[in-house]
Structure 1
Amino acid sequence: MSSMPNTAPDGQPDPTGEEVILGVDTHKDAHVAAVTTPLGVQVASASFPTTAAGYRDLLAWARGFGDLRRAGVEGTGSFGAGLARYLRDQRLTVIEVNRPDRAARRRHGKTDTVDAMAAALAVLSGRAAATAKTADGPVEMLRMFRLARASAVKSRTQAVNQLKAVIVTAATTLRDTLTGLSNTALIRHCAALPDTAPTDVATATVYTLRRLAQRIQTLTAEERELQRQITAVLNSNAPQLLHRHGIGPDSASALLITAGDNPDRMHSQASFAALCGVNPIEASSGKTRRRRLNRGGDRRANAALYRIALTRSRGDQRTQDYLDRRSSQGLTRREAMRCLKRYIAREIYHLLRQLDPIDPTPRTA
């Protein structure tokens, strides 16, 4: 059940037709909503459960105060994802709102109602203007596949390290039979060790090596299957990216996730560059004219652009000529690579704008 709303001084919602702005501070079990007028005056606030009925009640409550068209929602990629989807389905413009800045929190304190009001004011003032990702198509599928694959890769690496650590302390006879083998041969050999009940240190070592090797094989198969799913989604929805030099499935999926299922939310190639953290940041002083590293943006997308730039710098003559020209202009190699990443971001942006309408079902070969 929703809590009793805190309304304006007259005590009752009054749908006058005047535009109102909704702000929501999202949490796992309940969302706190606040409504403000175009002049920034708080009209009301209330708490609603994170259920389908709670979403309906929240929207009906907010619409009772006027013409509701825009909503600022915190955490549209986590706790606010469900609410953001519902509001979009109801034809509202959902704006992604970052947490209030620390200076504002020092001045006004921290409560859920204050945060919800801050979200509404961020939309009203224009400080928050980025349309939230829809997260309802193949890009969201890619994000999930990458999440699971990263977990499998991490667990596999951990298991390999554990297996090698066990070998270091194993009996000399067993250790000698495993020394010098490649990782693939080592794992295959350990997985085929006798499946005997552990009764002492020697048999416990064999038992542990067998279990770890089998776990590694399972995780390897899982990682490969997830990689096949990622490639299938990319081939179905963004083959243009994979056809470009230096762009593989990992880099392509990272860049698509940054753009989202609705890349039209980016109004220019400069906005995509900012999302990737490759837009130039001036660091000039006196007679020195230079730009420094942008430490903002999505660092996974930034790393993907760096991998593309690095690959092209080694195997693409046009890229090599560009880097040589920038170096002759006085830029360091690092600064030239930053410029190259910015140009690659522009190229990727135009490719994203050319993508076919979203098809959430990957086609298999």
Structure 2
Amino acid sequence: MKVEYGNVAEDAVWAGVDTHAATNWLSVVDARGSELFSGEFATDPEGYRKLCDEIRRLGSPVAAGVECTGAYGAGLVRAMAAYGIACCEVITPGRPRRGPGCDKDDAADALRAAKQALSGENLAVPKSQDGWVEEVRNMTVAREELVKQCTSLANLALATVRKGPDEIRARLERLGTAKMMGVLAGWDEAEADPICDAVMFSLAALGRVWAEARRSARLLEERIERTLKAGNPALASMYGCGPISAAMLAIAAGDNPERMGSEASFAALCGVSPIRASSGKVERHRLNRGGNRNANKALHIIAMHRMRTDPRTTEYVERRRAEGLSDREIRRCVKRYIAREAYRLIMHPYDVPIEGKGPEMRAERIASGVSQKDAAIALGVTASTLCDLELGHHQFRELALRYRQWIDDGFPLEAGIDS
């Protein structure tokens, strides 16, 4: 991103910070790029204060380029915002980007960040990390680790059972992984054979840790869902999008999604922007293998669900397949459309789609004295399906639209509605 500063004061200065776990190295340059200061500060509130004061002592700060704003530099970015210093994120160059003979130390990296902030080239607006998305991010990271731990424990327990005594293998392997781990979590009996007893004691220990990790992961997922519904009910109600997929998309956008200039920027951020792969007479695009891979995974999950269950999406798939597109190219197109929809919902968090308004339609039906059974018959569905829609347990796009139209038409019971 190119930043235009416009008119600046005569004593304007630009700062660059190379961030680390224990210290931050600051470099300050003037409008000509001459270094005015270079020094080290601690990564604590007092160190942040001294760093900001040093920048202001040297002149009127225009912008500060900070490395790793989502990790080591997160606290400094918040402190700079409180002190009124504009902050931007600079990309840390890897070895291929460094020219031969270039220095690599904290002072050189800070000076490079300051000069990059002065040029205004290749800068990004850092995530603010001060809202509900940051809450979701922390819970999502913890849940991912717990899920990985559950998988690792289950694999270890299954390998132990398969290598253990035959009587233990015959007793446990046929149960299946989840049921086996549940049985092991409550195991407290002693075995007659010493080897069998040692194996079962070890498996029971794995089972108890597995059960606790699974319970904690479920509690985190429930809280993630509650936080999502409070912070962005529109995204939480998107068709085919579960709480974890919605969390991944929200985390990619951050607490300040306005930093993205357009929905095309969000698509590129999620790795679903089309990449030209034409050659000769062949005109085509391929998948983008860059971007936020967690957000890309979330879009893939939503796309696969819609391609199986959503009539509009399945119709689109058949039409594009008839045009000669491969299944991989069709998935790329579907993911791109979903990214456009997700961006709009992220930017308008309370614009809840129709399929997320089941409870409201239920209240209107009850107020009109129409029973759920009669409504289900009129709509051509089962009462349990309509109940799931009204309670928000499932989101049926076409049924929700027909339900809304039926309510607007005055609840006609005698004619019915075609399904």
- TM-score of the two chains, using structure 2 as the length reference: 0.77
Code of the aligned partner of 2:126: A
Aligned counterpart for 1:165 among listed residues 149, 154, 159 = 159
Greater Cα shift, 68-77 or 163-172: 163-172
| Partner SS state of residue 64, structure 1 | helix
* Residue equivalent to 1:84: 77
- The answer on 1:334 being equivalent to 2:322 is no
Greater Cα shift, 125-134 or 262-271: 125-134
* Residue equivalent to 2:20: 27
Contact 1:198–1:204 under 8 Å retained in 2 = no
Code of the aligned partner of 2:66: V
Code of the aligned partner of 2:62: R
Greater Cα shift, 273-282 or 196-205: 196-205
- The answer on 1:178 being equivalent to 2:160 is no
Cα shift readout 1:281-310 (whole Å, capped 9, x = no counterpart): 222233222222212110110111111111
Cα shift readout 1:192-229 (whole Å, capped 9, x = no counterpart): 33355999322211211211111111111111111111
4+ runs deviating over 6 angstroms: none
1:260 and 1:251 map into 2 onto residues whose CA distance is: 14
2:323 and 2:173 map into 1 onto residues whose CA distance is: 53
Deviation at 1:259, TM superposition (A): 0.3
**Count of aligned pairs between the two proteins:** 341
1:266 and 1:54 map into 2 onto residues whose CA distance is: 31
1:78 and 1:325 map into 2 onto residues whose CA distance is: 45
* Residue equivalent to 2:104: 110
* Residue equivalent to 2:67: 74
| Partner SS state of residue 133, structure 1 | coil
Greater Cα shift, 36-45 or 58-67: 36-45
Long gaps (5+) in structure 2: 1-8, 351-419
- TM-score of the two chains, using structure 1 as the length reference: 0.88
| Partner SS state of residue 180, structure 1 | helix
Aligned-pair Cα RMSD in Å: 2.0
Aligned counterpart for 1:343 among listed residues 337, 340, 343 = 337
Q: How does 1:1-365 map to 2 (within 5 A)?
A: 17-100=10-93, 102-196=96-190, 200-355=194-349
| Partner SS state of residue 32, structure 2 | coil
1:193 and 1:345 map into 2 onto residues whose CA distance is: 47
Greater Cα shift, 293-302 or 120-129: 120-129
1:70 and 1:196 map into 2 onto residues whose CA distance is: 68
**RCO (CA 8 Å, sep 6+): is it higher in 1 or 2?**
1
1:153 and 1:105 map into 2 onto residues whose CA distance is: 42
Deviation at 1:345, TM superposition (A): 1.0
The change in CA–CA distance for 1:199 and 1:27 in structure 2 (over 3 A counts) is farther
Cα shift readout 1:55-100 (whole Å, capped 9, x = no counterpart): 1111111112211031111011111111011011122221111112
Long gaps (5+) in structure 1: 1-15, 357-365
Code of the aligned partner of 2:314: Q
Cα shift readout 1:92-138 (whole Å, capped 9, x = no counterpart): 22111111253334342212111112212222223233210011111
The change in CA–CA distance for 1:163 and 1:292 in structure 2 (over 3 A counts) is same
Contact 2:91–2:123 under 8 Å retained in 1 = no
1:284 and 1:184 map into 2 onto residues whose CA distance is: 48
State the identity as a percent: 40
1:305 and 1:180 map into 2 onto residues whose CA distance is: 36
| Partner SS state of residue 28, structure 1 | coil
Greater Cα shift, 341-350 or 124-133: 124-133
